[in-house]
Structure 1
Amino acid sequence: MAPTLNVGVFIYAGADIMDFSGPVEVYSTRPPPGTPQVFSVKTFAHTNPVGGENSVLVYVPGASFAEVEQQLENYDILVVPGAHPDIITEFVASEHGQKTLALLQRFAKLPPRKEAGYRILQSVCSGAVILGAAGVLAGRTATTHHICYDMLKEYADKASGGDSGINIVKKRWVDGGETEAGVRIVNAGGVSSGIDASLWITELVGGKELFQFTEEILEFERRGEGQAWGVKQA
């Protein structure tokens, strides 16, 4: 029987609601009857409760940041949502932001658990800027919300102390390949793109049948990697 992959979804004050709720919806969708659950999802945050964008909704996370930090090797997928650029700037410079960057750097160096076979660091929207600030996107192809391309380049270069070699592309989502430890980096474009990226990851780790079932349950047709916002398909 295939192992359950543990998914940690990070939430912070001002994070875009769909950035994290989209992946949560995909990963928490029940599989076909009679088949085991592939994902076990838990949200976590530095504070409890934590307010989403404009504090329209206030959340009680399933775990504290400290708890996930202590048990990081048990998490197979880590999801980092985005927010308004001003919020990202404030967050990265904060104490909580610096602790988050350290967590991401550590996660990117953890080999996949043998029983899981995968370790994935996933960003959604401007969450890629947080990954860039952590230095894990240097030399990789990446994407983010279309208004944050320059910001992503700036933060990735700053983390590298010069030209990071990041290749920023206008795509719906990007598989940026694996770190030396075998951690796969996946970036989704703006907001709703996180659903597409999460469905792609579902197919990657759970197979085509699970992906198609989840897509059907969500009544959401996954868009291809090249179908970025504003890119017309022939």
Structure 2
Amino acid sequence: MTVRVGILVFPQVQQLDLTGPYEVFASAEGVRVDLVAKSLAPVPSSTGLAFAPTLDFAGCPPLDVLCVPGGGGVNALLEDPETLDFVRRQAKGARFVTSVCTGALVLAAAGLLAGVRATTHWNAHDFLARLGAVPETGRLVRDGRFITAGGVTAGIDFGLAVVAALVGRDEAETVQLALEYAPAPPFDAGTPQTASPAILDRAKARLAASRAAREAIVGRIAPGEAAQS
């Protein structure tokens, strides 16, 4: 039996949030992966790489795994009724409801993470509680059928964990080896805790505009409203 995974794709998606888990899922036996968008028109990522959706909302069948990646485009989704309705519909029957990076904020805005332990990118972690979730620091957080991953590259770890849950650890380890996923970064600056203060300030400055816009949006969709919308 084929496991159906649908990854939401939207303008200004962070491409590695999507392509990291996509590569893992697509490399696993017995798993079919689709990119799902409002329409089948090409979708530009935040860095210019365009994606070709394979399903639109109307034609998307029930999914076993719903995955929402993050990126600057998440801001628009937090107040997009069509996308939030699609996420809610698919979440009802999905075996796993998942996110990478700031995709967790979309799940929360759809009212799906109320009282659920979750994580997201470090620069958006404080928004989780305001949207009704229970923030937990970690590269990967699972609470029942909800699985959320931290920022960007955590999507690869996330993909392997989901494959293990769906198909088995042997398949997940086979995919890991086939992809030679054995990270050994040249610098220890991958988290706010390990980066120098100067580098942390530079990163925050680079992300400031998107965060400011997100701050205003979260202020509009109060936790109670997000859970009831």
Do these two structures clear the TM 0.5 threshold for a shared fold by scoring above it? yes
In the TM superposition, residue 216 of structure 1 has moved relative to its aligned partner by 0.2
Structure 1 counterpart SS, 2:148: strand
CA drift of 1:122 comes to 1.1
Residue aligned with 2:98, SS:
strand
For residues 222 and 167 of structure 1, the distance between their equivalents in structure 2, rounded to whole angstroms, comes to: 29
Name the structure 2 match of 1:109: 92
In the alignment, structure 1 residue 146 sits paired with structure 2 residue 148: no
Residues matched between the structures, number:
188
Amino acid at match of 2:42: P
Aligned to 1:28: 26
Aligned to 1:204, what secondary structure does the other structure show?
Answer: helix
What TM-score comes out, normalization by structure 1 length?
0.75
Q: What is the distance in 1 between the residues matched to 2:76 and 2:134? A: 25
Q: Tell me the TM-score normalised to structure 2 length.
A: 0.76
Aligned residue number for residue 43 of structure 1: 35
- Kindly report the root-mean-square deviation, in angstroms, between the aligned alpha carbons of the 2 structures: 2.0
What's the counterpart of residue 171 of structure 1?
Answer: 138
Partner SS for 1:108: helix
Task: Flag as ranges the 4+ runs of structure 1 deviating above 6 A.
Answer: none
The 3-state SS of whatever aligns with 2:92 is coil
Question: In percent, how many aligned pairs have the same letter?
Answer: 32
Three-state SS of the structure 1 residue aligned to 2:35 is strand
Q: Tell me, yes or no, if the aligned pair for 1:139 and 1:167 is still in contact at 8 Å.
A: yes
Matched residue, 1:19: 17
Mapped partners of 1:90, 1:79: distance in 2? 17
Aligned to 2:70: 82
Aligned counterparts of 1:229 and 1:201: Cα–Cα separation in 2: 23
Going from structure 1 to structure 2, the CA distance change for 1:199 and 1:222 (only over 3 Å counts) comes to farther
Mark the CA change 1:173 to 1:229 in structure 2 (over 3 Å): closer, same or farther: farther
Residues in 2 aligned to 1:65 and 1:211: alpha-carbon distance in whole angstroms: 29
- What residue is the counterpart of 1:6 in the other structure? 4
5+ residue gaps, structure 1: 32-36, 113-118, 157-163, 178-183
Residue 161 (structure 2) pairs with residue 200 (structure 1): yes
How far does residue 89 in structure 1 lie from its aligned partner after superposition?
2.3
Q: For 1:112-170, what per-residue CA distance to the aligned partner results, in whole angstroms no more than 9, with x for missing partners?
A: 6xxxxxx111100000000010011001110000000122333x2xxxxxxx3x22011
